[in-house]
């Protein structure tokens, strides 16, 4: 008679969280994303096309930074909130009920869409009734809408995709985190920063490529999909800062604000120059690659020392 070895019962599945909690997680993530704008007091910056001359302290309050000088911050607060929601959903996915990720996304989008609608309505009511003002508002709404869409895709990738897809979403979030951090350290309208704050801003510019490298190291390169995701992450490190430079320079040009075609051409030229200038393009890529290589080498060693098998 052969003795049988008793098998241990599998650990019980964690008790599912209620769906409404997923909605609250999404709302909280959207709120954290908006934090760099919330700390400013939500006062709309002065607008070049405002119908009535108004003092800065008398401008209305809005939920998003609608201003041609704050385009990068606008993108950062929306996309960062979305990726934070995706991270929370991934961490909690064993506890979320069926459709829990959709509940998180619903909470996030509820806040973001309300913010876009409220800000659009307030800015529209205050602008002059001229074609230039209409085009200006459409451009801001377009940037906000595209940011919400990119954030929603990143949320889905981070929350539900296998590691390769999740890396792409995490890289998008890492690059959006750059303007988010800058906006938190130096809130809009806070005046010229001190030398110490300027030094901190200089250091913060390396946070996105470091996070991209960590994301690549976390996923590894064991499959073609993960290798492709790493390549996409490095491409984003190359392209997104150049795109940001183009937006900042074009958005800050009052001389070109009345000529949309010339403004777009100028933004494209600045983007091309930033993309092809080695001193600007190569250092962030090098940092991301270095962090990824160190993580890929050190990670398995640490897992073996910790008793894991690295699988």
The verdict on residue 239 lying in a domain is: yes
* Better-predicted residue by pLDDT, 16 or 132: 132
Please report which confidence band the pLDDT of residue 258 belongs to, taking 50, 70 and 90 as the band edges.
Answer: low
Q: Which of 162, 142, 26, 141 is nearest to 83 (CA)?
A: 26
Q: Which of these ranges, 62-66, 267-271, 299-303, has the smallest mean pLDDT?
A: 299-303
User: Is 200 in a helix, a strand, or coil?
Assistant: helix
How many Å apart are CA 177 and CA 188, to the nearest integer? 16
The verdict on residue 163 lying in a domain is: yes
Q: Which of 51, 213, 85, 242 is nearest to 156 (CA)?
A: 85
Q: Quick one: DSSP state of residue 12?
A: P
Residue 23, φ and ψ in degrees, nearest 5: -60, -45
How many Å apart are CA 260 and CA 241, to the nearest integer? 22
Please state the domain count of the chain.
1
Q: Please give the span between the terminal C-alpha atoms of the chain, in angstroms, as a whole number.
A: 37
The verdict on residue 29 lying in a domain is: yes
For residues 13-36, average pLDDT = 87
The verdict on residue 169 lying in a domain is: yes
How many Å apart are CA 215 and CA 233, to the nearest integer? 9
CA 37 to chain centre: 14
Express each pLDDT in 200-248 by its tens digit: 989 999 999 999 999 999 999 999 999 999 999 999 999 999 998 888 8
For residues 111-129, average pLDDT = 95
The verdict on residue 92 lying in a domain is: yes
* Better-predicted residue by pLDDT, 236 or 1: 236
Distances (CA, A) of 79 to 118, 123, 238: 18, 22, 18
The verdict on residue 8 lying in a domain is: no
The verdict on residue 157 lying in a domain is: yes
- By the 10 Å C-beta count (0-12 exposed, 13-18 middle, 19+ buried), 237 is classed as buried
The verdict on residue 96 lying in a domain is: yes
Q: How many CB atoms neighbour CB 51 within 10 A?
A: 13
- Cβ(290)–Cβ(214) below 8 Å: no
> Which residue range forms the structural domain that includes residue 280?
19-305
Residue 61, φ and ψ in degrees, nearest 5: -95, 140
Please report which confidence band the pLDDT of residue 141 belongs to, taking 50, 70 and 90 as the band edges.
Answer: very high
pTM: 0.89
Express each pLDDT in 261-292 by its tens digit: 777 788 889 889 999 999 989 999 999 999 99
Q: What is the DSSP string of 82-146?
A: HHHHHHHHHHTTTTS-TTHHHHHHHHHHHHHHHHHHHHHHHHHHHB-SSHHHHHHHHHHHHHHHH
Angle between the 224-251 and 207-219 helix axes, to the nearest 10 degrees? 170
pLDDT value at 309 more than 50: no
- Cβ(52)–Cβ(128) below 8 Å: no
In the prediction, which pLDDT does 262 show? 77
């Amino acid at each position: 008679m052969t003795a049988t070895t008793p098998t241990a019962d599998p650990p019980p599945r964690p008790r599912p969280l209620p769906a409404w909690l997923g909605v609250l997680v999404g709302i909280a993530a959207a709120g954290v994303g908006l934090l760099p704008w919330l700390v400013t007091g939500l006062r709309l910056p002065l607008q070049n096309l405002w119908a009535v001359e108004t003092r800065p302290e008398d401008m209305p309050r809005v939920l998003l930074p609608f201003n041609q000088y704050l385009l990068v911050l606008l993108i950062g607060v929306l996309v960062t909130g979305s990726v934070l929601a995706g991270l929370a959903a991934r961490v909690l996915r064993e506890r979320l009920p069926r459709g829990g990720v959709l509940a998180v996304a619903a909470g996030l989008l509820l806040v973001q869409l309300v913010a876009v609608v409220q800000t659009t309505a307030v800015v529209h009511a205050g602008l002059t009734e001229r074609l230039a003002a209409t085009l200006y508002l459409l451009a801001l709404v377009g940037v906000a809408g595209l940011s919400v869409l990119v954030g929603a895709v990143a949320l889905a990738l981070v929350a539900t995709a296998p590691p390769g897809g999740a890396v792409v979403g995490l890289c998008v979030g890492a690059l959006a985190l750059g303007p988010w951090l800058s906006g938190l350290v130096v809130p809009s309208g806070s005046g010229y920063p001190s030398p110490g704050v300027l030094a901190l801003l200089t250091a913060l510019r390396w946070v996105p490529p470091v996070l991209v490298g960590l994301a690549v190291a976390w996923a590894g390169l064991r499959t073609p999909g993960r290798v492709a995701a790493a390549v996409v992450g490095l491409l984003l490190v190359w392209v997104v800062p150049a795109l940001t430079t183009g937006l900042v320079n074009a958005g800050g040009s009052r001389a070109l604000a009345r000529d949309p075609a010339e403004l777009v051409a100028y933004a494209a030229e600045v983007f091309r120059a930033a993309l092809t200038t080695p001193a600007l393009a190569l250092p962030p890529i090098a940092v991301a690659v270095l962090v990824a290589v160190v993580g890929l080498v050190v990670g398995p060693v640490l897992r073996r020392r910790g008793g894991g098998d690295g699988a």
